[in-house]
A and B are shown apart, each in its own frame.
Chain A
């Protein structure tokens, strides 16, 4: 009887930044042994990204990196060292899944492409998550998720119709692609069980991302319509916006879909005379006069806190929620009840939040087991316990500088 869903699955993650580590984190959080292969000679850019503990740079000091790397093992391995690739292959031979997200061609140059690693582990499952896929004229176009977010179409669709687009803050594709990648590799485990065969998976983050806008693409292909950004509006509901609240830059989102909800909404506001105007009585009327209605509502919301409005609206059966700042999330009663953020003792940062998962399983735990690792924290353990090196061999390779 095993405790965690993916217990006994071994994953070697050569990747860095977000797409590959986030893919690996899903598997790690579900119980797989996920080993991140890293090197001090080319540390994960997240490790060298702000903010740092005490604002002093250091590969183990980045708070950004720590949030994303709970439950991972870290092995330091210099793949540019002649013996480094050999050790990597021995590790792959003990694993089920290999993940990487370098520029296409990088793994081949290291001698660790699918053809090579298949030699040491014929039924290996390998996934590459590059920006635009392994083949095609733009395969090696460099870049980061924040930029790919523009290529994939999310940037154009964020902001106000009368203004330039804005970024949806994050690299959206860095969230779109990893879940699909993790699903694909677990599915590949079943395929392997059935056929005995491993496989190579080429996931283009751009191609995965387009699925998240698929209906708009179908609309373009069939009607030629080019969807545009529309602020916070919704085609079939009004009011449907973020309203200013008491305090500095505080907002509450409110969405009213039905006539019944509209009546309840007016009651919450204390039925000021304007709510009785006939032009607001129907959804067509409210849509037609949306700007005016938003202005009137704002006058009311400015006198209340966002939390108060959320509670009043929710009690009346209306969809409403504060526009959460980070502090709000950390104090959010729902997130805390569900222990969504995993607070763990990080070797450098102390008691520190690590990102949890959106799913909870009734029989197999999904929880923070290990804080984000120091670079190479588990090198000896992986070499001696997983790869099966003797202590003598490990020390020899260590002295050769293989584990840097």
Chain B
């Protein structure tokens, strides 16, 4: 695919006012990647989310949070105390110039300030406002306190994950709010499309917990149809048949994911794996004689599966992740490595596709490596163009040059801690 100028973006002439905390950062980041002018509004002194670890080279400061770097890149940033009277008026002036507002405060907070959707709509009838909250802004749980752990617990996903002899377990990195942020963008852009036809804005109410439920469709189906409860099963896969099938296998230097199964595709990959094992003298008669075409996972017995798993397990332990992944490529067998960050950084495929993007951080005197565009387009660039804003970095640019405040007023707002 051709390389494009980093100035060409999917969207132009659209502006978002991003009032979110860490629950909503990703939403604005995606809009910014697509070309929206996203102005991140923080309280004077900076967001609390600037304290989220990890930090750049473990230097703990409000200008070195890697969470902020990752999810606020491509945005501009200003400071504003929206709880002050002047702050509210300034926010409204900004909203007049904007197409989108994103916020992730507790339910009712914006309304309490007189900055809820009904108020902002009066200022700009075309505004599209998205509120991203744990359970949504309606219903009996709307004021429930939450966090990643509770969102994941109540989503139903967590109950399906973990070792059977330990508590259910979550992904060890915030995930639900990122999922919700991305889904919010879909709704916001659709609302913008509708606005083109009707001239009307609207409010979008996003529930973080709900954004995860799509991941557990099959267990819902098993319960509804057969009243079968899928239970967490550690390294095994449940829900594809009556029994447990190992999917995570230890290998020489870590773990790989490989699925045994029946049917056309699996008949071929199972056979190809046994042939590979055989070529290294690691398939006994038992394995060589299996008729994979007639193999049906639903009708296998423990007596059959266990020795099979044992033999495959031995073979995997004899090889590294890379050997199995690459050997799989040659033989059209899907054996995936369980990658950690170093493995991901070294993935040949990502390098060959020029995925990683170097981003200047002049204040730190470095270029930092970021994940590249989430999609490659034949026409535009959707990756990182510049680093996340520093605290109040664009105050003067936006307050003085764009909103037209005089230097004297700008100084006054600064001194009174409004910006």
Contacts and interface: CB of A to CB of B under 8 A. Distances in A.
Nearest to A147: B336
Nearest to A243: B167
Interface string A184-216: 101111110111010111111011101111111
B376 A202 contact: yes
A337 B240 CA distance: 32
Contacts of A200: 377-378
B371 to A, nearest CB: 5
A51 B221 contact: yes
A62 B355 CA distance: 38
B172 A321 contact: no
B403 interface: no
Contacts of A164: 234-235, 248, 250, 255
Nearest to A327: B223
B183 A359 contact: yes
Interface in B331-361: 332, 334, 336-345, 347-350, 352-353, 355
Contacts of B171: 154, 157-158, 168, 172
Nearest to B151: A321
Contacts of A384: none
Nearest to B208: A358
Given A147-B259, A167-B161, A169-B161, A187 B340 contact: no
A175 B10 contact: no
B10 A187 contact: yes
A158 to B, nearest CB: 5
B204 interface: yes
A253 B153 CA distance: 6
Given A206-B349, A207-B355, A217-B371, A359 B344 contact: no
Given A186-B193, A212-B178, A133 B353 contact: yes
B237 A217 contact: no
B11 interface: yes
Interface string B375-405: 1111110100000000000000000000000
Interface in A303-359: 314, 317-330, 332-335, 337-338, 340, 349, 352-353, 355-359
A51 B240 CA distance: 8
B378 A359 contact: no
Interface stretch (B90-98, B139-147, B410-418): B139-147
Interface string B206-235: 111011111111111111111011111011
A364 B191 CA distance: 8
Interface in A200-251: 200-204, 206-208, 210-223, 225-232, 234-237, 240-244, 249, 251
Interface residues of B, number: 156
Given A2-B194, A217-B344, A157 B255 contact: no
Contacts of B135: 334
Contacts of B235: 164-167
Given A321-B153, A358-B210, A155 B168 contact: no
Contacts of B228: 51
Contact of B70 (A2, A176, A215): A215
Contacts of A163: 163, 166
A199 B379 contact: yes
A175 B228 CA distance: 24
B158 interface: yes
A329 B148 CA distance: 18
B344 A340 contact: no
Given A22-B214, A218-B370, A235-B53, A166 B150 contact: no
A179 interface: yes
A137 B352 contact: yes
A220 B344 CA distance: 10
A282 interface: no
B136 A334 contact: yes
Contacts of A186: 186, 189-190, 193
Contacts of B300: none
B252 interface: no
Nearest to A114: B378
Interface string B163-194: 10011111111010011101111110111111
B220 A202 contact: no
Q: Point out which of B332, B340, B342 has the most chain A C-beta atoms below 10 A from its C-beta.
A: B340
A175 B217 CA distance: 12
B204 A362 contact: yes
B37 to A, nearest CB: 14
Interface stretch (A63-71, A84-92, A268-276, A389-397): A63-71
Given A153-B339, A193-B196, A359-B130, 10 more contacts: A63-B224, A147-B257, A163-B166, A186-B190, A186-B193, A201-B377, A215-B66, A216-B173, A334-B142, A358-B180
Q: Which 6 A-B pairs have the closest CB atoms?
A: A63-B221, A170-B215, A253-B153, A214-B70, A337-B139, A179-B182
17 contacts: A5-B193, A53-B225, A62-B221, A147-B334, A156-B255, A166-B161, A168-B157, A201-B377, A228-B172, A234-B147, A240-B149, A243-B167, A330-B220, A355-B213, A357-B183, A362-B204, A366-B187
